[in-house]
Amino acid sequence: MFVGTNLTNIRILHGYTRKQLADLLQITEQSVWQYENGYTSPKLEVVNKLKMIFSVKSKYFYTEDFLDKSGKSNIQQCHIAYRADVINSVQKTQSEAKHIEFISSFLGVIEKKLHYPKNEVVSLREQIIKYITNSKDNVKVKIQNAAKIARDFLNIGNKSNLNLIFLLEKKGVFIFEKAIGEKIDAYSLWSEDDRPFIILGNLKKSAARRNFDLAHELGHLLLHYKVEFSSLDTKSHREYEQEANLFAGAFLLPEKEFMEDFNSLSKKSNPDAYIDLKKKWIVSIQAMAYRAHQLGLLDYQQYRYFNIKLNQLGYKTKEPLDEQIKIQKPGKIRSILQLLFENNYFPITALLDKLLVDIEYLSYLLGIDIEFFKKYQKDVSKEFTISDLNIRAK
């Protein structure tokens, strides 16, 4: 029997409304509603179209709902913290929450073959919550001290931010890339079982901007645990964003070391004077000047002149070194899959059969290029060779 909830969930995962999916299938919106709610079952030609759209097997729609197999959902969409200028629509938030729910269920499948080390970021979160709760410092000082605690905890050092994504993943953050649109840079949330997620947009960005996205979302994870972002008005949303920005600046540019670097600059109001510092810290020129202004190293007139020059030089959209500094990508899940596939702990054919999906589905869900999966799929497909003939010449 056709399981309608499977269609509902995978439709939401891909961000389609019933009307949009109906148009793709060339059927009525009412028909999609009937399939999803168990009133009718689609004909074979419709199921074949669904297979193609969502890169799954036919059987996917006739087995127990994939998310139901994992038990109660441990993702609360109200806790999603976006790095964006606007509060996002209910439909968008629902789709992104469903994406993480699918990822979480996927991790539940592969983790049955693994033993993970303790997630250290949970300990960091509790340490920072305890500090903020007990400290009598003002909010700004609390946030800057929280950033210092986080940087020390992650063992980043105070010389650069080169391996930020690696260190976050190593300490327990699950980081993925996906297409999340032009208006959203990234988002994050804690699952109900205390797993921290950061989702990065996959639009072409610089390494410096990616570092700021990571630090900003880390700020949300540590400072804004259990905040119901979907209930915030515009003013409150902006305040939380400003707190995450303050955290990111203090986290990426440690006060003592950055002040020493800044004081060595000859022309502090000229954006081009920051290029060497950008190479060192992998932080945008714009973000460094903002941090300097926060620290009182640039007064109002200097900062105003800096921003005028920034516009004149076109650095608001593209800065020097943006194309030269290599962009770091998430690697933990890719490495886990590599371990499972190459050691035959969980062959790719077995994984695809377990999930009832195609490799295109895995590529979409996990943000990993499809060639990675094709390599392992090719490795398990046996071709007849001379060595298999078992024939000797007379």
Q: What is the pLDDT of residue 370?
A: 96
Q: Say whether both 84 and 56 belong to one domain.
A: no
Q: Say whether both 341 and 235 belong to one domain.
A: no
Per-residue pLDDT tens for 307-321? 999 999 999 989 999
For residues 231-252, average pLDDT:
93
Which tokens sit at 44?
């074979």
- DSSP state letter for 89: P
| Last residue in a domain, options 250, 271, 291 | 250
User: Which helix (H) or strand (E) element contains residue 105?
Assistant: helix 90-110
Per-residue pLDDT tens for 242-254? 999 999 999 999 9
C-beta atoms surrounding 245 within 10 Å: 19
In a domain, 32, yes or no: yes
**Structural domain of residue 155, as residue ranges?**
73-250
Q: Say whether both 238 and 166 belong to one domain.
A: yes
* Whole-angstrom Cα Rg for the chain: 24
Q: Say whether both 139 and 9 belong to one domain.
A: no
Q: Say whether both 82 and 62 belong to one domain.
A: no
In a domain, 306, yes or no: yes
Q: Say whether both 216 and 85 belong to one domain.
A: yes
Residues in the chain: 394
| Last residue in a domain, options 250, 275, 300 | 250
Give the chain's domain count.
4
The rounded distance, in Å, linking the Cα atoms of 372 and 370 is 5
Q: What are 82's strand-pairing partners?
A: 187
Q: What sign for the dihedral angle of Cα 141, 142, 146, 147?
A: negative
In a domain, 121, yes or no: yes
Of 140, 262, 181, 165, give the one whose Cα is nearest residue 217.
165
Of 43, 32, 45, give the one whose Cα is nearest residue 6.
32
Q: Say whether both 82 and 226 belong to one domain.
A: yes
The rounded distance, in Å, linking the Cα atoms of 289 and 378 is 50
Q: Say whether both 299 and 355 belong to one domain.
A: no
Which three-class secondary structure string do you get for 213-267?
A: HHHHHHHHHHHCCCCCHHHCCHHHHHHHHHHHHHHHHHHHCCHHHHHHHHHCCCC
In a domain, 394, yes or no: no
Q: Say whether both 97 and 239 belong to one domain.
A: yes
Asked whether the beta carbons of 15 and 92 are under 8 A apart, the reply is yes
Q: Say whether both 82 and 180 belong to one domain.
A: yes
For residues 230-255, average pLDDT:
93
Per-residue pLDDT tens for 73-123? 778 888 888 766 555 566 778 889 999 999 999 998 998 888 777 889 999
Q: Say whether both 203 and 322 belong to one domain.
A: no
Q: What are 56's strand-pairing partners?
A: 357
In a domain, 392, yes or no: no
Q: What is the pLDDT of residue 382?
A: 59
Q: What is the pLDDT of residue 303?
A: 96
Asked whether the beta carbons of 82 and 187 are under 8 A apart, the reply is yes
In a domain, 106, yes or no: yes
Asked whether the beta carbons of 332 and 169 are under 8 A apart, the reply is yes
Of 45, 21, 50, 49, give the one whose Cα is nearest residue 33.
21
Of 83, 41, 84, 33, give the one whose Cα is nearest residue 62.
41
Q: What is the pLDDT of residue 191?
A: 92
Q: Say whether both 261 and 376 belong to one domain.
A: no
Which tokens sit at 298?
């640039």
Per-residue pLDDT tens for 114-166? 877 788 999 999 999 999 999 999 999 999 999 999 999 999 988 899 999 99
In a domain, 393, yes or no: no
Per-residue pLDDT tens for 362-391? 999 999 999 999 999 877 655 556 565 565
Cα(first)–Cα(last) distance of the chain, in Å? 59
CATH number at residue 3: 1.10.260.40
In a domain, 177, yes or no: yes
